[in-house]
């Protein structure tokens, strides 16, 4: 049921998308993203010392654009990102987004103690609690769906993913279309969040 809902939403968002994405300039984006490297790494793959900041390399430009625009508008609240994007134009945002999309993402590793539980949640969810499988929207390999603005999550830092899931659960992050992620995260325990986040970091 939830998988069918995700596919339906993908189609609707593709047809009725109100914003043109992924029309930026990669070379310009590289230059404009220099200030981003401190948290997101020179190659966009983040810094091991800052696993609470996301890897951006290989992320769909459409998704990155959406997040940057929402940091700027305040619909996604983040004290670090708000001042970083305040002066960015629409062109700057598009350029930065396509630059990061052009980079090759890396994959981390999963802790052995989380692999089984994390994989089960990612691939099957939990029928007892009505928890949908993560792969229903993010795909078996975690590649996401750019048309539906579902991000690529494979290889993402476990700490970052867990922080975002817990933010959706507490509704301190609420920029998910149609409440999809808040609905999913609300059904998860913190231990389940940590397990699936750790599994996702090693997913490829």
> Which of 93, 99, 103, 94 has its CA nearest to residue 57?
103
d(CA 185, CA 169): 5
Instruction: Let me know: does 185 contact 126? Beta carbons within 8 Å.
Output: no
> Which of 149, 153, 157 has its CA nearest to residue 178?
149
Instruction: Let me know: does 163 contact 128? Beta carbons within 8 Å.
Output: no
d(CA 140, CA 50): 27
> Which of 154, 145, 139, 141 has its CA nearest to residue 55?
154
Quote the mean pLDDT of the chain.
Answer: 91
Alpha helices in the chain (DSSP H): 2-16, 26-32, 37-40, 61-73, 81-85, 90-102, 112-124, 135-138, 158-170, 180-186, 190-201
Q: What is the pLDDT of residues 72-89, one digit of tens each?
A: 999 999 999 999 999 999
pLDDT recorded at residue 131: 98
Per domain, the residue ranges of the chain are 2-6+107-201, 17-102
pLDDT recorded at residue 13: 44
Tell me the CATH number for domain 17-102. Answer: 1.10.760.10
CATH fold label, 2-6+107-201: Cytochrome Bc1 Complex; Chain D, domain 2 (1.10.760)
Same fold: 2-6+107-201 with 17-102: yes
> Which of 124, 114, 126, 195 has its CA nearest to residue 161?
195
Q: What is the pLDDT of residues 6-63, one digit of tens each?
A: 544 544 444 333 344 568 999 999 999 999 999 999 999 999 999 999 999 999 999 9
């Amino acid at each position: 049921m939830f998988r069918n809902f995700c596919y339906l939403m993908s189609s609707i968002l593709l047809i009725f998308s109100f914003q043109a994405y992924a029309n930026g300039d990669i070379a310009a984006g590289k230059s404009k993203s220099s200030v981003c490297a401190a948290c997101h790494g020179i190659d966009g793959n983040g810094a091991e010392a800052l696993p609470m900041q996301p890897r951006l390399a290989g992320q769909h430009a459409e998704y990155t654009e959406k997040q940057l625009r929402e940091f700027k508008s305040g619909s996604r609240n983040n004290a670090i990102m708000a001042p970083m994007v305040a002066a960015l134009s629409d062109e700057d945002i598009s350029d930065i987004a396509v630059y990061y999309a052009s980079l090759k993402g890396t994959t981390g590793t999963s802790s052995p103690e989380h692999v089984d539980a994390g994989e089960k949640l990612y691939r099957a969810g939990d029928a007892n609690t009505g928890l949908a499988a993560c792969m229903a929207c993010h795909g078996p390999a975690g590649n996401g769906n750019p048309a539906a603005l579902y991000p690529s999550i494979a290889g993402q830092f476990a700490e970052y993913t867990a922080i975002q899931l817990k933010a959706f659960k507490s509704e301190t992050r609420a920029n998910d279309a149609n409440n999809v992620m808040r609905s999913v995260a609300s059904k998860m325990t913190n231990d389940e969040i940590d397990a699936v986040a750790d599994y996702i970091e090693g997913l490829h």
